Amino acid sequence: MLMPAMLTRWTATPERVDREELLDLGHGSIEEVRRSLADLDRINRWLGGRAPLRRFLFPRMAAAARRPLRVLDVGTGSASGAVEIARWARTQGIDTQVVALDRSGRHLSIAQEAARPYPEIRFAQADVFDLPFAEESFDFVCSTLLLHHFAPAALRELLPKLWRLSRGSLVLNDLVRGRVPACFFEAASPFFARSPLTKYDGRASIRRAYTPAEMRRVLDEAGLSQARLYTHGLYYRMTVVMDRDAP
């Protein structure tokens, strides 16, 4: 039986460690990157990365479907999220253009292959702090697994920028830091993280992710106290949602 002090130590949330990830640093061949992005798609499909689109983004798109819609997917990676948005919009008969943005040319070359059946997806290569879009260029701005890549000071700068791009809503989904997701990742790596890049980056992502309390503090300090923060405990995920008009 674990003593209380030992149990407290084991369950305590580890400190945030901002360690660069290999994909961000440009490591790996194009095939290694392709395998790692496939791992990320698998993780998002099975471990809560797509549920926020269905819960928060799609109902808002449906409510705004009286006009053509523009959606920005920031940090698109392999564009699997952009493809899911485009696929859903087609099934609903909603005229939608999705702009899939990433700073990595290698990621975008892989994404363009996956998105070939969806001409409504356009691609843009840019740094998130120097985006080539005017304010309120999009009805919706979304991201998956983007926020943990930035230190608090950078997030305080980035979040208002993304908010200003949207004339409708912002839906940003990310990890929650903790020992449980770290242990689960180690146990489930043979299925979810088949690439060595993913094994390293997965560990780094969990350690540099935020807790809900930390994210709430960043949002408030960024002047976005109106943002709502939803947690998805089973998957150790959280979603930042902001609306110009309450749904």
- Give the contacts of 88 (CB within 8 A, at least 6 positions apart): 53, 58, 61
47-74 pLDDT, tens digit per residue, is 888 899 999 999 999 999 999 999 999 9
| pTM of the predicted model as reported, rounded to 2 decimal places | 0.92
How many Cβ atoms sit within 10 Å of the Cβ of residue 187? 10
- CA angle 42/102/24 to nearest 5° reads 75
Is 5 inside a domain boundary?
no
159-194 pLDDT, tens digit per residue, is 999 999 999 999 999 999 999 989 989 998 888 888
Is 12 inside a domain boundary?
no
The amino acid occupying position 66 is R
Is 207 inside a domain boundary?
yes
Tell me the CA distances in angstroms from 53 to 14, 94, 151, 171, 232, one per residue in order. Answer: 29, 15, 25, 8, 13
Domains in the chain, number: 1
Work out the average pLDDT over 204-221: 97
Cα 37 to Cα 112: distance, rounded to the nearest angstrom: 13
Is residue 3 scored above 60 in pLDDT?
A: no
Task: With beta carbons less than 8 A apart as the criterion, state whether 246 and 59 touch.
Answer: no
Taking the chain, what is the end-to-end CA distance rounded to the nearest angstrom?
Answer: 49
Is 72 inside a domain boundary?
yes
* Residue 90 belongs to domain with CATH number: 3.40.50.150
Is 33 inside a domain boundary?
yes
108-158 pLDDT, tens digit per residue, is 999 999 999 999 999 999 999 999 999 999 999 999 999 999 999 999 999
Strand partners, 175: 237
- Which residues constitute the domain of residue 190? 19-243
Of 217, 197, 210, the C-alpha closest to 236 is 210
pLDDT given at position 97 = 98
Alpha-carbon dihedral angle through residues 55, 61, 65, 67, given to the nearest 10 degrees:
170
Is 177 inside a domain boundary?
yes
Is residue 9 scored above 80 in pLDDT?
A: no
Is 11 inside a domain boundary?
no
Task: With beta carbons less than 8 A apart as the criterion, state whether 44 and 80 touch.
Answer: yes
How does strand 228-232 pair with strand 237-243? antiparallel
14-48 pLDDT, tens digit per residue, is 999 999 999 999 999 999 999 999 999 998 888 88
Q: What are the b/e assignments for 219-231, b being 16+ CB within 10 Å? A: beebebeebeeee
Task: With beta carbons less than 8 A apart as the criterion, state whether 198 and 36 touch.
Answer: yes
Is 75 inside a domain boundary?
yes
